[in-house]
A and B are shown apart, each in its own frame.
Chain A
Amino acid sequence: MAGTVTVPGASVPSTPLLKDELDIVIPTIRNLDFLEMWRPFFQPYHLIIVQDGDPTKTIKVPEGFDYELYNRNDINRILGPKASCISFKDSACRCFGYMVSKKKYIYTIDDDCFVAKDPTGKDINALEQHIKNLLSPSTPFFFNTLYDPYREGADFVRGYPFSLREGAHTAVSHGLWLNIPDYDAPTQLVKPKERNERYVDAVMTIPKGTLFPMCGMNLAFDRDLIGPAMYFGLMGDGQPIGRYDDMWAGWCVKVICDHLSLGVKTGLPYIWHSKASNPFVNLKKEYKGIFWQEDIIPFFQNVTIPKECDTVQKCYIYLSGQVKEKLGKIDPYFTKLADAMVTWIEAWDELNPTAAATENGKAK
């Protein structure tokens, strides 16, 4: 099979490369030097670089990578008035990359994330693990105490209903970070020196009905199954809030995945997060979010998507209406956000017209 890595003599089935089916989306404002470390794992893939900030700056991409690059001017040109839904001066702009991609899978990574080592000292091929996660089923309906039963060496435990052992399609693979953990500003202020040194050797499915904080630093997803829900919201310049882009997307994604019987996995792979952002700057960005999330979480916990919503787009449009109705009273920002969510779907459908568009996200 073309594009499969085969290790001679290995008894473990190899993971397909998927090099023609996966795009790597990277938001950046500075440079892409970090790609040098990832070269052995990323070189076969097409990169979509979304340049945030000053479009007159030239972002240098290391030699040998196949990529397309979009700056703010490109985004404005391609989306026209709909470009208003894409954030400026915030890594949330990365979701533009999801929209323009033509591939089935997306892997997104921050430019301060490097290759981590597993406990044996071996370099972790994060992309390969994400692919493994996405290509094997999830188990959202019953928690397996030995975690991912499809992993080598594991299985379903006694008491796990047989009717559920086929699992659900995996829409999202959420990876973790060693070194600088993804803490909010108050926690960073209290624990500035804390480093995540614990390698937890597990992948697991987040149960249906349970929300989680989705971090966009090391994230992969099936664009066909859940792409339209991966809108990273209105953040950054001109917005009252920042550092909640991935969180917002995660809550929308999880609620829709639960509705469509799709799975979300978390755990391996780890990357090495090198840069600790300034906690005081973060506090300013997150401040409103910390208070608003107290209302946002109950909203997502209680929202019920009607049965008729059988595609991701329909679910998302329904959610946007609920956001306007229920969260609009907290702050006018949410009304703006709800409108942007609709604009996003319109832009998505415009850039991704297929006869099978109505099949997107339908659980098989």
Chain B
Amino acid sequence: MRPPSLLSLTLDSALLRIAHIADLSHLPDHLVIDLFRVEKVLKLFLATGCEEIILAVQLLNIKQPLKMSSGIQDSEVDIVIAALQPNLNTFFEAWRPFFSRFHIIVVKDPDMAEDLKIPTGFDLKVYTKADIDGVLGASSINFSGHSCRYFGYLVSRKKYVISIDDNCLPAKDAAGSTVDAVAQHMTNLKTPATPFFFNTLYDPYRKGADFVRGYPFSLREGVECMLSCGLWLHNADYDPMTHVVKRNQRNTTYVDAVMTVPLGAMMPVSGINVAFNREVLGPVMFPGLRLRNEGKHRWDTLEDIWNGLCAKVVCDSLGYGMKTGLPYVMRSDAEAGKALESLKEWEGVKVMDDVLPFFQSLKLSRTAVTVEDCVKELASIVREKLGPKNAVFTKAADAMVEWNNLWKSHGAHHA
């Protein structure tokens, strides 16, 4: 136990007596201001609800403490699993210690004929093609393959969603303990993100870390984290070219860090292991970009990459944060030979080279103050600037608009 500092002892003793101090007017102004800058004291004064104090705090431009959630309740979380294979017994048994507390949504790939095998003992609901068609009727959005989990996002009624691919199992950390990916995602979402300045010791809110020397104090408050992007051990998320060329390479490096993706920086968000604040970000978590010959392997898709880029632009514009790093999941091998097949059809190379410069130069207007507004604006810019390059982008813009509508009618509810 570390001994309390002089400063904290002084504050604690002053706070004990604060109720007896009826009048602070004898204190010189600069001391009162300094007092207000101490979060503990500020919270106390604000809690009185006294108009004069609140006004004074605003006039002095003192930053009010970030309302950090005391924790994420289990009842606020949905786990959404896209079933692209019928037998989910191994998957759910392996994840049982970490999933069993939560409500689970399983969305079956509408193209899959076989029945799902899921073990009992979970609070779990399965959605199939019939449900998708039933709820949405005729929708221009194609929910087949990896895109089916977005339907799960739509029908979820929880504030947070965690989604993991069905070929991933819990990983072990460097010490050999099994990683609770769900708990780590929840921690990432409930602690602030720090996008305005890079902290060289990574996440300053982790135990044993902090902001380093040179990190401006006014930027230490952070912003709310909306998206948590996890990683994968063993079979890493590579494009088909890399799968073919490095068929024997496996990711064995456990990087013990979470970090915020800085403001303005773009990154490829992999849908294999993600979590997000559905209540806020839902309208931008869509299956927009669909490659012409999209298959069932992750390397056949870019929907999550596109989704992530849109989400990042929106987060940057609205002052939200995105984190990357822990947790890891253990991703099982896919048949390497299949990558070679996919390679022939893969238009991902062309698409990404068009996509990135577009996102890097993108600036949403100041009048777009909600996620929905941002998505609307984004869709029209995509249609105008990228549409002419490739029809796949025009379709993406359509899907984004369609999703916005679907969200309004089916998604925008919460428990």
Q: Give the shortest distance, in Å, between A105 (CB) and chain B (any CB).
A: 21
Q: A147-B255, A198-B208, A290-B217 are in contact. Are A162 and B353 (CB under 8 A)?
A: yes
Contacts of A208 in B (CB 8 A): 265
For B305, the chain A residues whose CB sits under 8 A away are: 158-159
Which A residues are CB-close (under 8 A) to B277? none
Answer yes or no: A145 CB below 8 A from chain B CBs.
yes
**Residue pair A153, B252 in contact (C-beta under 8 Å):** yes
Residue numbers in A under 8 Å from B348 (CB-CB): 158-159
B232 to A, closest residue via Cβ? A146
Pairwise interchain contact B255-A157, C-beta atoms closer than 8 A: no
Whether B209 and A196, one on each chain, are in contact in the complex, defined by CB atoms closer than 8 angstroms, is yes
B304 proximity list for chain A (CB < 8 A): 159
Query: What size tier do the contact residues of chain B reach?
Result: 35 or more
Select one of B8, B200, B255 contacting A213, CB under 8 A: B200
B334 to chain A, nearest CB (A): 12
Taking CB as reference atom, which chain A residue is nearest B305?
Answer: A159
Are A181's CB and B324's CB within 8 A?
no
**Are A162 and B352 touching (Cβ within 8 A)?**
yes
The answer to whether the Cβ of A183 comes within 8 Å of any Cβ in the partner chain is yes
Task: Tell me if B219 and A159 are in contact (CB < 8 A).
Answer: no
- In the complex, the answer to whether A198 meets B256 with C-beta atoms within 8 Å is yes
* Complex Cα spacing A146 to B7, Å: 42
Interface of B is mostly: loop
Q: Are A153 and B249 in contact (CB under 8 A)?
A: yes
Interface residues of B in 266-297 (CB under 8 A from A): 266-270
The answer, among A145, A161, A176, A182, for a CB contact under 8 Å with B213, is A182
Q: How far is the CA of A316 from the CA of B290 in the complex (A)?
A: 46
Contact B355 A176 (CB under 8 A): no
Are B216 and A293 in contact, with the CB atoms below 8 A? Answer: yes
Stretch in A185-193, A317-325, A345-353 touching the partner: A185-193
Given A159-B305, A161-B352, A161-B353, does the pair A201, B254 have CB atoms closer than 8 Å?
yes
Using an 8 Å CB-CB cutoff, how does the interface string of A14-49 with B read, 1 for contact, 0 for none?
A: 000000000000000000000000000000000000
Q: B212 near A: Cβ within 8 Å?
A: yes
Also in contact, A213 and B213, with CB within 8 A (given A201-B253, A201-B255): yes
Interface residues of B in 169-226 (CB under 8 A from A): 174, 197-202, 206, 208-219
Interface stretch (choices A90-98, A243-251, A306-314, A333-341)? A243-251
Q: Which residues of B contact A247 (CB under 8 A)?
A: 213-214
A142 at the interface (CB under 8 A from B): yes
Q: Is B48 an interface residue (CB 8 A)?
A: no
Would A194 and B256 count as touching, CB distance under 8 A?
no
**Which of B200, B216, B242, B324 touches A174 (beta carbons < 8 Å)?**
B200
Residues of A within 8 A of B (CB): 119, 141-147, 151, 153-164, 174, 176, 181-184, 187, 189-202, 206-215, 243-244, 246-247, 250, 266, 286, 290, 293-294, 297
